[in-house]
Amino acid sequence: MKIVDAKVIICCPGRNFVTLKIVTEDGLYGVGDATLNGRELAVASYLTDHVVPLLIGHDARRIEDIWQYLYKGAYWRRGPVTMSAIAAVDVALWDIKAKSMNAPLYQLLGGRSREAVLVYGHASGTDLEKTLGSFGHFVSLGYKAIRAQSGIPGLSSTYGLSHGAMAYEPAEKDAPPENQWSTEHYMRFVPQMFAALRKEFGTEIHMLHDAHHRLTPIEAGRVGKDLEPYRLLWLEDPTPAELQEGFRLIRQHTTTPIAVGEVFDTIFDCQTLIREQLIDYIRATVVHTGGITHLRKIANLAELYQVRTGCHGATDLSPACMGAALHFDLSVHNFGIQEYMPHTEETDRVFPHAYSFQDGFMHPGDAPGIGVDIDEKLAAQFPYQRAYLPVNRKLDGTMHSW
């Protein structure tokens, strides 16, 4: 089953997506997401200029071998650009293989381990009252787990807040927007927010929170301790994880479960975190971590240490990534939860898909392959638009992370 063609499709149906489509000699094709928010064209070039020419003539069935060929063959290992490009090839090949067997991908991954995939939605508001209202909206839609983010008194703007009722898009056109940050203001406010949420919505619903890498380890220990009474499902990205040892300090101070890894690109980024049981959920995802092939290895390592998966699933991950992630989630034994933010209606039209949401759970559907396609003609009507994630500055102007 020789690969005869491969092409990169860049489109912006509300936000930018990079998609790889691989075609075989029998006319079967597969798609894979290659979107890297704010650096999209670097991955597109990596694929078009350096990967596509190598793929032509390869046997599409040799998924593991092609993965190793691209990873080891590049000489320059790891990094988000490389690993997103490899992920796109990997997912397109899994899509092709599953289609060739007329089976949904999860059947090739060992079959389903559960009925459906628990997802969490995103409540947010510019102040506490609006966040409570948004949380109630997600409860009414049937969500069983909800992340809460809020504007913070004393700060003019905060990362991670949605501009509409449902769609959430952190990147903005042309140049990075600037947000304000003060750890002191944040640390005073967050426990109050969860006290109010638990008071209004009770103990049954799962609550999550994302600190977006903005705390030092000891500050994160304090936040985790202050949030213990509110029993979060997780506190996400408490501190930047380049320093994996930093999480030891957090663990010494709190039993609030910790999730990290949406910016990771290989198993090497999380091996200390997992082996030392410094985290509870690993957020590495299909598109930024080398595809299904590599993510399964991370999940298998995590299983040994009772760490569960919690894949990143923001809107900058395309429906092709969401489809692949749901097959992974349904099949992998140590699944925990999947992030879900619905895409815009234009995005859903450009990427017809078999997956669905019902009552707080998702299912990848039973269409052969990953169950996600791309309408190339429609995609061509939405050309690329430069956009960047925001930066964060402290009140005195110093750059802060996110």
Compute the least distance from the CB of residue 259 to ligand EZ4, in Å: 9
Residue 18 contacts residue 384 (beta carbons within 8 Å): no
Return the residue nearest Co ion (CB atom).
210
Which residues between 262 and 301 bind Co ion (CB under 5 A)? 262
Q: Which does 104 bind (CB under 5 to 8 A by kind): ligand EZ4, Co ion, none?
A: none
Residue 158 contacts which entry, ligand EZ4, Co ion, none (Cβ below 5-8 A, type-dependent)? none
Q: Count the residues in the chain.
A: 402
3-state secondary structure of 105: helix
| 294 SS3 class | helix
| DSSP state string for 327-392 | HHHHH-TTB--EE--PPPHHHHHHS-B--EEETTEEE--SSSBTSB---HHHHTTS----EE--EE
Q: Smaller CB distance to ligand EZ4: residue 174 or 396?
A: 174
Q: Which of these ranges, 123-131, 208-216, 316-324, 391-399, lies near Co ion under the rule CB under 5 A?
A: 208-216
Q: What residues are labeled active site? A: 159, 212
Residues in 235-264 that interact with Co ion by CB under 5 A: 262
**Interacting residue ranges for ligand EZ4, rule: CB under 6 A:** 37, 160, 170, 210, 212, 262, 312, 314, 316, 339, 389
| Separation of alpha carbons 335 and 6, rounded Å | 32
Q: Looking at beta carbons only, is 33 or 262 nearer to ligand EZ4?
A: 262
Q: Which residue stretches of 101-204 are H helix?
A: 105-108, 128-140, 183-201
Distance CA(286)–CA(279), nearest Å, equals: 19
User: Among the candidate windows 70-78, 205-213, 265-273, 342-350, which touches Co ion by CB under 5 A?
Assistant: 205-213
Q: Identify which of residues 67 and 194 has a Cβ nearer to Co ion in the complex.
A: 194
The distance of closest approach from Cβ of residue 339 to ligand EZ4 in the complex, given in angstroms and rounded to an integer, is 6
Give the shortest CB-168-to-ligand EZ4 separation in angstroms: 7
Residue 24 or 338: the one with the smaller Cβ distance to ligand EZ4 is 338
Q: What does the alpha-carbon distance between residue 139 and residue 151 come to, in Å, rounded to a whole number?
A: 20
Indicate the residue among 52 and 321 with the shorter CB distance to ligand EZ4.
321
Distances (CA, A) of 191 to 98, 159, 226, 231: 47, 18, 6, 11
For the CB of residue 241, give the shortest distance to ligand EZ4 in the complex, in Å.
13
- Out of ligand EZ4, Co ion, none, which partner does residue 316 contact, by CB within 5 to 8 A per kind? ligand EZ4
Q: How far is the CB of 160 from ligand EZ4 (least distance, A)?
A: 6
What are the distances in angstroms from CA 119 to CA 116, 163, 175, 192, 350? Answer: 9, 21, 32, 25, 23
Contact 171, 389 (CB under 8 A): yes
Helix pair 128-140, 183-201: axis angle to 10 deg? 40
Given candidates 210, 280, 316, 329, which one binds Co ion under the rule CB under 5 A? 210
Give the interface with Co ion as residue ranges (CB under 5 A): 210, 262
